[in-house]
């Protein structure tokens, strides 16, 4: 069951990386102002960055946040508990 959950999470991240792009970086629907899309390993997902026109300084970013690391931590704890429970008793 753990393997199904881990592979499902990886497939979900892969699908998101393959399908999202600059079209998902529109701050408001219909604004026709798109940001730059990039993948972030820190946030485990696509991060949109919008820059100001005169000096190209970053104005703001939007991404999935660090909440996805909670899933990684839970999967890791689950795996560790399975390893401890399956360890031979002496």
Average of per-residue pLDDT values in the chain: 84
Listed residue (40, 41, 35, 39) closest to 22, CA to CA: 35
Question: In this predicted model, what pLDDT tens digit does every residue of 18-42 receive, in sequence order?
Answer: 888 877 888 778 887 888 888 888 8
Number of H helices, E strands in the chain: 2, 3
What's the pTM? 0.71
- Predicted confidence (pLDDT) per residue in 47-68, tens digit: 888 876 666 666 777 888 888 9
Structural contact between residues 56 and 33, judged by C-beta atoms closer than 8 angstroms: no
What span, in angstroms and rounded, lies between the C-alpha atoms of 22 and 41? 18
Domain parsing of the chain, residue ranges = 2-86
């Amino acid at each position: 069951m753990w393997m199904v959950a881990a592979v499902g999470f990886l497939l979900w991240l892969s699908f998101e990386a393959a399908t999202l792009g600059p079209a998902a970086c529109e701050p408001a629907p219909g604004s026709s102002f798109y940001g730059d899309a990039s993948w972030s390993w820190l946030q485990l997902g696509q991060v949109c960055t919008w820059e100001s026109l005169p000096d190209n300084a970053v104005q703001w970013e939007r991404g999935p946040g660090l909440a996805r690391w909670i899933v990684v931590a839970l999967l890791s704890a689950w795996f560790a508990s399975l390893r401890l429970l399956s360890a031979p008793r002496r």
